Homo-oligomer: A and B are copies of this chain.
Amino acid sequence: MNTPLDPLSLWTTSFVKEAILNFVADVTNEHHADFVPAADRIAVFDNDGTLWVEKPLLAELTFIKEQLQFKRGKTDGERLSFFEKLKDVCEDAAQTLLSEAKDLAEDLLDGVTIHEYEQAVKEWISQALHPRFKQPYTSLTYSPMQQVLRLFQQHQFQCFIVSGGSTDFIRPWSGPIYQIDKPNVIGSSLRTKLVEKNKRLHLEYMPIPFYFDNGAAKVRSIARLIGKQPIAAFGNSSGDIEMLRYTRQAPRSLACLIHHTDNEREYAYSPDSSLHFGKDTLEYAKEGDWEVVNMKLHWLEVFGQPQRG
C-alpha cells in the first residue's frame, strides 16, 4: 500500500489503515452493497486531540489565558487553578466550571463583537507558539489525519468538525488549515445579543454559555445542525463516546479512536479524563468494534514538514 499513490502514505500498514481505505472504497463504489450517495457521506471529526495537539493545555484555553493576561497585566492564582481544572473537564463538571467561568467571560467578552473576537483569534493563532514544539498551533495538526481529511474530501464526503471547543475559536482558521468551511464547524458557543450602534446591527457576546458541545451534546448537535446520520467519526476522548457509538449505528460505518501512545513524538495519555467514571473509553471501543489508532505504531509521522525541519 505504501506506494507514492497511497492516499494514507503516512500510516503504517495495519488493520486500521486497511479498514479506513476499504470503508472509503466500498461506500463510494456504486456497485457495492454498502454504497452511500455523496449527499449522505457525512463524516464528523473531533478537533482537539483528534486533528491537532491538545496538550499540555488546549490551544483555546491558552488563548483565553493570554487574552486575560493582556487585559489585566497578569493572571492571578485563583484563575490559574480554574484553568488547571478545565484541563480535565468532562460534561458532569461542566456546569460548575461554566458558572465559575462567568466572571472570566465577562472580563474577556464584555461588549466584544463576534467580528472583534474573530480578529483576536486570527492575530493570536498567527503568532502563538506551542510551548514544547515551538511551532504555531496550526502546524501541529496531525499530518496522517490531514491525509484522512483529503481522502474523504476527494471522495465527496461532507466533513464536519464537531468539537467541545468553541465554534468561533476554530472557524477563523479551519478553512485554510483543514479545508473545512465555516458552516461545517460545530462547537460550543456563548449566547449573543444583537445590538444597534450608529444605526448598524452588531452581534455581541454575552457571558452566558449557550451550548457545551461534548458527550451526548455532540450527537444532539449533529442531529440539529446536520440532520443526517454520520457514517464516519473520529475522536480521541470520553467526550466522543456518544458520537462514535451513534455513528457506528449506520449500516456501514467507521468509528476511529485516536489513542495517544507516543510520549516521544507527541504525548501519551488516556482517552479518559480523571473526572470520568464508569466504563472507560477503550472498553467502548472494543465492544463497539471501533478502530483504535495507536499513534506510536500506526503513524509514520505525527506532524507535517515544519515540525520535523
Smallest CB-CB separation from A187: which chain B residue? B224
Give the distance to chain B from A233, nearest Cβ to Cβ, in Å.
13
Q: Do B216 and A194 touch (CB < 8 A)? A: yes
Smallest CB-CB separation from A182: which chain B residue? B227
Asked if A192 lies at the interface with its beta carbon under 8 angstroms from chain B, I say yes
Give the distance to chain B from A102, nearest Cβ to Cβ, in Å.
20
Asked if A114 lies at the interface with its beta carbon under 8 angstroms from chain B, I say yes
Asked if A177 lies at the interface with its beta carbon under 8 angstroms from chain B, I say no
Given A242-B194, A249-B200, answer yes or no on A171-B227 (Cβ-Cβ < 8 Å): yes
Asked if A33 lies at the interface with its beta carbon under 8 angstroms from chain B, I say no
**From DSSP, what is the main secondary structure of chain A's interface residues?**
helix
Q: Do B183 and A228 touch (CB < 8 A)? A: yes
Contact-residue size bin, chain A (C-beta under 8 Å from the other chain): 20 to 34
Mark interface residues in A164-202 (1 if CB within 8 Å of B CB, else 0). 000110010001000001111100010011100000110
**Please, which residues of chain B bring their CB within 8 A of the CB of A200?**
249
Task: A275 to B63: give the CA distance in the assembly, Å.
Answer: 45
Q: Do A224 and B189 touch (CB < 8 A)? A: yes
Give the distance to chain B from A290, nearest Cβ to Cβ, in Å.
14
Q: Do A226 and B183 touch (CB < 8 A)? A: yes
Task: A225 to B203: give the CA distance in the assembly, Å.
Answer: 14
Give the distance to chain B from A210, nearest Cβ to Cβ, in Å.
8
Q: Do A185 and B227 touch (CB < 8 A)? A: yes
Q: Do B246 and A201 touch (CB < 8 A)? A: yes
Given A183-B228, A226-B182, answer yes or no on A192-B171 (Cβ-Cβ < 8 Å): no
Q: Which of B39, B114, B181, B246 contacts A181 (CB 8 A)?
A: B39
The A226-260 residues at the B interface (CB cut-off 8 A) are 226-228, 242, 245-246, 249
Asked if A223 lies at the interface with its beta carbon under 8 angstroms from chain B, I say yes
Asked if A220 lies at the interface with its beta carbon under 8 angstroms from chain B, I say yes
Give the distance to chain B from A240, nearest Cβ to Cβ, in Å.
13
Q: Do B245 and A201 touch (CB < 8 A)? A: yes
Asked if A219 lies at the interface with its beta carbon under 8 angstroms from chain B, I say yes
Q: Which of B184, B192, B245 contacts A223 (CB 8 A)?
A: B192
Q: What are 18 contact pairs spanning A and B, CB under 8 A? A: A39-B175, A39-B181, A158-B183, A168-B227, A171-B227, A182-B228, A183-B184, A183-B225, A192-B223, A192-B224, A193-B220, A200-B249, A201-B242, A201-B245, A201-B246, A203-B220, A203-B223, A225-B225
Instruction: List the 5 closest pairs (A to B, CB-CB), nearest first.
Output: A182-B227, A194-B216, A171-B227, A183-B226, A192-B220
Instruction: Give me 4 other A-B pairs in contact (C-beta within 8 A), A158-B183, A201-B249 excluded.
Output: A183-B226, A192-B223, A200-B249, A203-B219
